[in-house]
Amino acid sequence: MSRKLIAMFLIAAMLLAGCSSTKPEPEKPSQNAETLSFNGFLFPTGDLDSGLKVADSKEMSAEEVADADRAMRAYTPGPESYLKNKAKTFVYYEALDKDEQGMYDAMLMAAEDPTDPNNIVVFTTDLDPSTDDFRVKLQTAYFSMLYDHPELFWLYNDINASMGIGYNPNGSRYDIYFGFTEQFEEFPEVMTRFNDAADAFLADIDLTKSEGEIAQAIHDKLIDTVTYDMKVCNENIRSDYAHTAYGPLVENGRGEDNTSVCDGYSLAYLYLLQQAGLTAAVIVGEAGSDKETMGGHAWNVVQIDGTWHEVDSTWDDMGTLEDQLQDYKGENVYTYYMEALNDSAYRESIEHYLYLITTDELREYDPGDAYTYYSKDGKYMYSLVGSGVHYRVSELTGWEPYSYVVENAPIAK
């Protein structure tokens, strides 16, 4: 929180953005699509030494093809999968074409077991892997898979494993080989912790209730449980569990329980909704106080009784503001903001101000005077929420390959 906020506190609102108390601050993505790396994070790093390599993918030698084929024959799957996603439908998968779905399926099959170097999956296609068309389709399939499957948190930004590809011409077609460039040996242990945490979270959610009641119960418990990770935000730490569903449900990269930033909130909310039988998707975009100051952010669209709605659980989490206010004890801003936060009816309203609204409402949000609070001593009127903007990457420039995915996201009307 800044001194500017204190000066404005009688008339201004606090906006909880993806990576700031007032606006997100991560770097904008690279404009050079040829240097994009499949590192599984919200922002391309341009680092082609890690991640699913596309721009520099090369044809495999005969020896490499023979080795890959021998590995596939030698591989024996485990008795059960640690990937427990119960989604009825995967929103981004359903929007892909046949080739993209084939690549998505192959990569997801490989992800069933990142512990064994023999686990290699091949997909055959007419697409020439040296072309831009193939690159775009593979990028779209890869990020669609990551945003459909929050349980792949260990692959997100190559936190624990890196997926790679190779290709082999086979007559008029091409065999595309998917595998891991490094193995994730702790996969069973980490996935068990994740699965147990998700089950424990949902244990006191009544899944017999209506979709609307379930979605709100999960939303409310999530923002009550999670602490926003200011260190990851302020220091722009990109390869951390805080950016994944693992951070909110288990711990961040520093071992702090239930700690996350915006994409973690969104991926965790998606996964919990999927486990509860609801359909939802993660939206990647930019958000902030206005279009000039916005930065990278993530939120959700959720389908309830056949209708899509936008939800930003990160900005709804007023616990972040409460934590920041601790530095201002003894000042008016602390006294009056905490009075509002401790008013149960008011807090209930502001912790749902970006819950179940339309895409147009979220894009250019104006609360008007709907969240005005009157102090008990009659001296002040103020609001803890204010105007803000949310733009999907599909509405912006320079966000490839993420825009290829998000352009398929449902619109909430």
* pLDDT the model gives residue 163: 86
Amino acid in position 335: T
Longest dimension (CA), the chain: 81
pLDDT band at residue 59 under the 50/70/90 scheme? confident
* pLDDT the model gives residue 19: 57
Q: What is the pLDDT of residues 138-175, one digit of tens each?
A: 999 999 999 999 999 999 888 998 888 889 999 999 99
Q: Can you tell me the distance from the alpha carbon of 142 to that of 146, in angstroms, rounded to the nearest whole number?
A: 6
> Is the model's pLDDT at 103 over the cut of 90?
yes
Tokens linked to 54: 């596309």
* pLDDT the model gives residue 238: 86
User: Judging by beta carbons within 10 Å of its beta carbon (0-12, 13-18, 19+), is residue 306 exposed, middle or buried?
Assistant: exposed
Please state the rounded mean pLDDT for residues 22-38. Answer: 28
Q: What is the pLDDT of residues 243-256, one digit of tens each?
A: 999 999 999 999 99
Percent of the chain with pLDDT over 70: 86
For residue 401, is the peptide bond before it cis, meaning its omega torsion is within 30 degrees of 0? yes
pLDDT band at residue 57 under the 50/70/90 scheme? low
> Is the model's pLDDT at 96 over the cut of 60?
yes
Q: What is the pLDDT of residues 322-361, one digit of tens each?
A: 999 999 999 999 999 999 999 999 999 999 999 999 999 9
Amino acid in position 308: W
Q: What is the pLDDT of residues 175-188, one digit of tens each?
A: 999 999 888 999 99
* pLDDT the model gives residue 58: 73
* pLDDT the model gives residue 337: 95
Higher pLDDT residue, 183 or 257? 257
Long-range contacts of 58-64 (CB under 8 A, 24+ apart): 58/166, 59/129, 59/166, 59/167, 59/168, 59/169, 60/166, 60/167, 60/168, 60/177, 64/166
Mean per-residue pLDDT of the chain: 86
Nearby residues of 335 by Cβ (< 8 Å), 6 or more positions away:
none
Q: Can you tell me the distance from the alpha carbon of 266 to that of 245, in angstroms, rounded to the nearest whole number?
A: 8
Q: Which of 258, 267, 96, 61 is nearest to 166 (CA)?
A: 61
Give φ, ψ of 130 to 5 degrees: -85, 0
Q: Can you tell me the distance from the alpha carbon of 106 to that of 327, in angstroms, rounded to the nearest whole number?
A: 50
Q: Can you tell me the distance from the alpha carbon of 205 to that of 11, in angstroms, rounded to the nearest whole number?
A: 38
String of b and e for 78-95 (b: at least 16 CB within 10 Å)? eeeebeebebeebbbbeb
> Is the model's pLDDT at 18 over the cut of 70?
no
User: In terms of DSSP H, where are the helices of 119-228?
Assistant: 132-148, 187-202, 211-225
pLDDT band at residue 55 under the 50/70/90 scheme? very low
Higher pLDDT residue, 11 or 278? 278
* pLDDT the model gives residue 281: 98
User: Judging by beta carbons within 10 Å of its beta carbon (0-12, 13-18, 19+), is residue 344 exposed, middle or buried?
Assistant: exposed
pLDDT band at residue 45 under the 50/70/90 scheme? very low
